[in-house]
Amino acid sequence: MAISPAQQGLSKRNFILGLINGSLFILFTTFIDPDTVLPGFVWQLTGGKPLLVGLLVSIISTGWFWPSLFLSPLFATRERLMPWYRLSAAGRCVALLSLPLVAFSLDRFSPATGFLLVTLAYLGYSSFGGLSLIPFMTMISETIPPNWRGRFFGARYLLGGLMALAAGPWVRYLLSDHSGFRFPSNYALLFLAGALVALPSMLSFCFAEERQRVVQRRRISVLLELQRGLRIVRRDRNFKRLIVTRCLSAFMLGLTLPFIVPYALSQLGVAASAVGLFVVCKVITYSLSNLLWSRVSDYSGNRRLLILSAFMSLVALVLVLVVHLLPATELHLLGGHSVSLRVAFVGLIFACFGFSNAGQEIGYTNFLLELIPERKRPTYLSVYYLFWLPLCWVPMLGAVLIGNHQRFMLGFSIAMALCIALVGYTFRLREVREVEDALTQ
């Protein structure tokens, strides 16, 4: 049977393995969600200290990006990158398995020691994850054609989101007073479930197909690699615009997402059990939105996807700024359950962010993969992550702004201004496919 032009270069094996890997990854991150579960856990562990919430989120994010800065010149000279991905998978599995062990033993340590141990476990997980970024992105770009990547990442997020949706009620139950589990045992069980789901997620892609690629003959220094990357940023205007929009998005999210749960717990009178509901709300829109985002990416382009998802972030921030004006009225749901109007509104906020974040993740990843040329992929990725690295500390900046006086609205207001700038600047991106078509005509 003839292969259609749209399927040329497609590895069905990698598509399926990547689907298994990504969907299980989303499921296990539901149990350790950095936007809902993790802030709630740290808030309770530290007795309500926003500075430590921001610190942990920033450290975790840093782990994802620092390895690529130092290893990109090495990867550029290696014909096979799969051994590095397998090393990353093994390291992440060990780190994740240590996390529930620490959580179950928190009553043996002081809060400071417990926080340190949890931070080290998370840092180990994210640092080994950072080791896999360039190998994974390289193998995906080589085996999944551009017009299939929207479906690929969309299917990962959709299937994983649906599984996470099924797990959401259990998360909510476990964190409620009815489960019989108290802090920190309830969170420890979440971390254990996440670690067990992570094992097949990490191991599945270790059997992916790796194709032969053109490599550099000699290894250059990290400094020279970064100098090359900075020259590319100056010359490639579309790449520069992509970096600016990504930075604005990271600033906006870093000042908002880690602090919505602490804000709800401390200022809105929300119970800790509501965190499970927030997870469900975020997961529903995160998963189902990919039915739209994958089609927009494949057929309309990633620029339009990024514009639409940026507008949805703006809607979410408007809701964040007005939720405190609502009364604490009880809403009666089906089945005899009830939640306050504020809880329902915060759930809507997370639903909007779930919708937006899914589009941002697909859009930025696919835009970047289409933009970078094959021979310069490690250099492009290294400088891209160079700009990302300091942005990992935006949550820490947000925590400093909030301070012990809990000035949450200050951080949210700055995030709103950044989001308005993000929407405006995203319009300046040029669709990669349209640029390439114009050059070939």
Q: Which CATH number covers residue 382?
A: 1.20.1250.20
Tokens of 19: 């689907």
Tokens of 344: 């329902």
**β-bridge mates for residue 332, sequence order:** 338
Residue 5 located in a structural domain: no
Residue 338, classed as helix, strand or coil, is: strand
pLDDT at position 438 is: 47
Residue 2 located in a structural domain: no
pLDDT at position 5 is: 35
Domain count along the chain: 1
pLDDT at position 216 is: 65
pLDDT at position 60 is: 83
**pLDDT by residue (tens digit) across 338-369?**
677 888 889 999 999 989 988 888 888 888 88
Residue 395 located in a structural domain: yes
- Judging by DSSP bridges, how do beta strands 338-340 and 330-332 pair with one another? antiparallel
Instruction: List the domain range (segments joined by +) for residue 64.
Output: 11-207+220-440
| pTM, to two decimals | 0.74
Q: Give ∠ CA 166-53-66 in degrees, rounded to 5.
A: 90
Residue 4 located in a structural domain: no
pLDDT at position 418 is: 95
Residue 3 located in a structural domain: no
Point out the residues of the chain with pLDDT beneath 50. Answer: 1-7, 334-336, 437-441
Please tell me the distance from the alpha carbon of residue 29 to that of residue 160, in angstroms, as a whole number.
Answer: 10
Please tell me the distance from the alpha carbon of residue 238 to that of residue 130, in angstroms, as a whole number.
Answer: 25
pLDDT at position 310 is: 94
Q: Chain-wide mean pLDDT for the chain?
A: 83
Residue 1 located in a structural domain: no
Please tell me the distance from the alpha carbon of residue 381 to that of residue 365, in angstroms, as a whole number.
Answer: 11
Residue 214 located in a structural domain: no
pLDDT at position 412 is: 93
- Cβ neighbours of 413 (radius 10 Å): 16
Write phi, then psi, for 330 (nearest 5 degrees). -85, 135
pLDDT at position 215 is: 66
